[in-house]
Chain A
Amino acid sequence: MPADPPTFVLQRVAAGDQAAVQECITRYGDLVWSLARRMAGRDADDAVQEIFIDLWRSAGRFDPAVASETTFVAMIARRRLIDRRRRESRRPGAVLSLDAEVPVAAPARETIDLSAEAAAARTAISTLSEDQQRVLGLSIQRGLAHEQIARATGLPLGTVKTHIRRGLIKVREALEAQAAGQEVRL
Chain B
Amino acid sequence: MNPLHPTNPVPPSDGAEERLLDLLTAQATCGLSPEESAELHRLLAEAPGEGADAFELAAAAADLAFIGTLEVMPGAIAARTLDAVRAAAAPEGVAAPLQMRAFGPASAGRSRRWAVAGWVAAAACLAIAFVGWWPTIHRPVSQADLASRAEAFAKSTPDVVRLAWGDFNDIATKAPPEVPGVKGEVIWSDSEQKGYMKLTGLPVNDPRREQYQLWIVDAERGLQQRISGAIFDVPAGSASGGPATVVVPIEPGLHVGKAQLFAVTIEKPGGVWVSDMSRRACLAANTQ
Q: Are B55 and A168 in contact (CB under 8 A)?
A: yes
Task: Find B134's partner among A22, A79, A169 (CB 8 Å cutoff).
Answer: A22
Q: B13 within 8 Å of A by Cβ?
A: no
**Interface set, chain B 1-59, CB cutoff 8 A to A:** 2-5, 21-22, 24-26, 28-31, 51, 53-59
Residue A9 at the B interface, CB < 8 A? no
B126 at the binding interface (Cβ < 8 Å):
no
Q: For A30, give its contact among B5, B59, B70 (CB under 8 Å).
A: B70
Q: In the assembled complex, how far is the CB of residue A22 from the closest CB belonging to chain B, in whole angstroms? A: 6
B68 close to chain A: CB less than 8 A: yes
Given A25-B78, A110-B69, A172-B58, 5 more pairs with CB closer than 8 A: A26-B78, A35-B63, A75-B59, A82-B31, A141-B63
B172 at the interface (CB under 8 A from A): no
Of the residues B29, B51, B78, B254, contact of A139 by C-beta under 8 Å? B29
Question: SS class of chain A's interface: helix, strand, loop or mixed?
Answer: helix
What band does the interface of chain A fall in when counting residues whose beta carbon is under 8 Å from B? 35 or more
Q: Which of A31, A37, A79, A171 contacts B58 (CB 8 A)?
A: A171
Our count of residue pairs bridging A and B at CB distance below 8 angstroms stands at 206
- CB-CB < 8 A to A66: which residues of B? 3-4, 51, 53, 57
> How does the 8 Å CB contact mask read for B83-108 relative to A, with 1 for contact and 0 for none?
01110110000111010000000000
Complex: A33 Cα to B78 Cα, angstroms: 9
Shortest CB–CB separation between residue B222 and chain A, in angstroms?
Answer: 15
A/B interface sample: 9 pairs, CB < 8 A: A34-B70, A56-B85, A78-B59, A106-B71, A111-B67, A118-B67, A168-B24, A171-B58, A179-B3
Question: Known interface pairs A31-B70, A168-B25. Does A118 touch B65 (Cβ–Cβ under 8 Å)?
Answer: yes
A57, A86, A122: the one contacting B66 at CB < 8 Å is A122
- Residues 60-100 (chain A) with a chain B CB within 8 angstroms: 63, 65-67, 70-72, 74-75, 77-79, 82-83, 85-86
Min CB–CB distance A27 → chain B (angstroms): 11
Interface size class of B (residues with CB under 8 A): 35 or more
Q: How long is the Cα–Cα vector from A177 to B29 in the complex, in angstroms? A: 22
List residues of chain B with CB under 8 Å of any chain A CB.
2-5, 21-22, 24-26, 28-31, 51, 53-73, 77-78, 80-82, 84-86, 88-89, 94-96, 98, 132, 134, 253-254
Whether A78 pairs with B60 at a CB distance below 8 angstroms is: yes
A residues 3-56 with Cβ under 8 Å of B?
Answer: 16, 18-19, 21-22, 25-26, 29-35, 37, 45, 48-49, 52-53, 56
Q: Given the complex of chains A and B, what is the CA–CA distance between A79 and B26 in angstroms?
A: 11
Q: What is the CA–CA distance of A57 and B56 in the complex, to the nearest angstrom?
A: 18
Q: With A and B bound together, what is the CA distance between A107 and B75 in angstroms?
A: 12
Q: For the complex of A and B, list the 5 residue pairs with the smallest distance between their C-beta atoms, beginning with the closest.
A: A33-B73, A118-B64, A122-B65, A74-B60, A121-B61
Partner of B88, one of A53, A121, A122: A53
Chain B residues with CB under 8 A of A75: 53, 56-57, 59-60
